[in-house]
């Protein structure tokens, strides 16, 4: 996902025909071969069923083109230019409203991923496990970023990574395996092991778990 201009999320547009607030909708896919395109992923459309343009449109289209359709008023984000979309029924576009909240969430996730990738460069000298965990625990992060986070995991050799990693479900089997191997190496490098009964980390020589008292 690229950094996109999300300023349309703050944009409020009012339909000049009915003075109602317009809705932000996903732009319909247009075949590249047609040489057309909106140049925008979203469109603002008046979805008011009582909008005069929409009400009058049916007759107009019938007379002019002889088929059953009408118009919805439309503007592109960041533009005041008037446009219309032809629609075959009153529900067109009502199913493609842009979920602004989801876009903002997705964007903040992406920002966190980017920051974490930058912090990876210095995480070993700063003994900073946080960016490594951010990437490993984010199932939506890029594979390549998560893969490099795994290599830093071993360099950091920080036992506190084990709990959050164990508590996470890795969807990718290869990741699960690699994380598991890293944990094993980190434990060994720290002369520790996980108690098979309670999963607490104990000394590798321990004969009895200090947490659950089970024999090891
Ligand atoms: Zn309107
Ligand atoms: Zn135990």
For residue 96, report the distance from its CA to the centre of ligand 1, in Å. 17
| 101 occurs within a structural domain | no
| 189 occurs within a structural domain | yes
Domain, as residue range, for 88: 8-30+37-96
For residue 94, report the distance from its CA to the centre of ligand 1, in Å. 14
Token digits of residue 140? 């939506």
Give the global pTM: 0.62
- Looking at the structure, tell me whether residues 46 and 70 fall in a common domain: yes
| 23 occurs within a structural domain | yes
Nearest of 151, 209, 162, 152 to residue 184 by alpha carbon: 162
Nearest ligand to the CA of 14 is 1
For residue 132, report the distance from its CA to the centre of ligand 2, in Å. 27
Question: pLDDT band at residue 1, thresholds of 50, 70 and 90?
Answer: very low
| 89 occurs within a structural domain | yes
Which tens digit of pLDDT belongs to each residue from 64-105? 999 999 999 999 999 999 999 999 999 999 999 998 888 888
For residue 199, report the distance from its CA to the centre of ligand 2, in Å. 6
Which tens digit of pLDDT belongs to each residue from 142-185? 999 999 999 999 999 999 999 999 999 999 999 999 999 999 99
Share of the chain above pLDDT 90, in %: 80
Q: How many domains does the chain have?
A: 2
Checking if the pLDDT of 45 tops 90, the result is yes
| 213 occurs within a structural domain | no
- Looking at the structure, tell me whether residues 76 and 126 fall in a common domain: no
Rounded to whole angstroms, the Cα distance separating 71 from 36 reads 19
Alpha helices in the chain (DSSP H): 52-65, 100-123, 130-136, 143-156, 162-166, 173-189
The DSSP secondary structure of 172-189, one letter per residue, reads: SHHHHHHHHHHHHHHHHH
């Amino acid at each position: 996902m690229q950094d996109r201009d999300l300023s349309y999320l703050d944009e409020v547009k009012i339909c000049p025909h009915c003075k109602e607030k317009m809705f932000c909708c996903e732009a319909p896919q247009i075949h590249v071969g047609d040489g057309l395109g909106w140049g925008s992923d979203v469109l603002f459309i008046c979805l008011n069923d009582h909008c005069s343009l929409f009400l009058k449109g049916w007759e107009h289209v019938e007379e002019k083109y002889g088929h059953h359709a009408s118009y919805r008023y439309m503007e592109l984000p960041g533009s005041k230019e008037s446009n219309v979309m032809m629609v075959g029924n009153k529900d067109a576009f009502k199913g493609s409203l842009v979920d602004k909240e989801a876009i903002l969430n997705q964007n903040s996730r992406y920002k966190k991923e980017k920051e974490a990738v930058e912090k990876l460069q210095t995480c070993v000298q700063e003994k900073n496990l946080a960016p490594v965990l951010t990437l490993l625990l984010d199932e939506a992060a890029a594979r390549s970023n998560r893969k490099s986070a795994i290599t830093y995991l071993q360099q950091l050799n920080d036992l506190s990574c084990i709990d959050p990693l164990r508590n996470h479900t890795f969807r990718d089997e290869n990741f699960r395996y690699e994380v598991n191997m890293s944990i094993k190496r980190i434990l060994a490098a720290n002369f520790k092991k996980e108690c098979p009964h309670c999963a607490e980390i104990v000394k590798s020589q321990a004969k009895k778990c200090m947490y659950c008292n089970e024999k090891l």
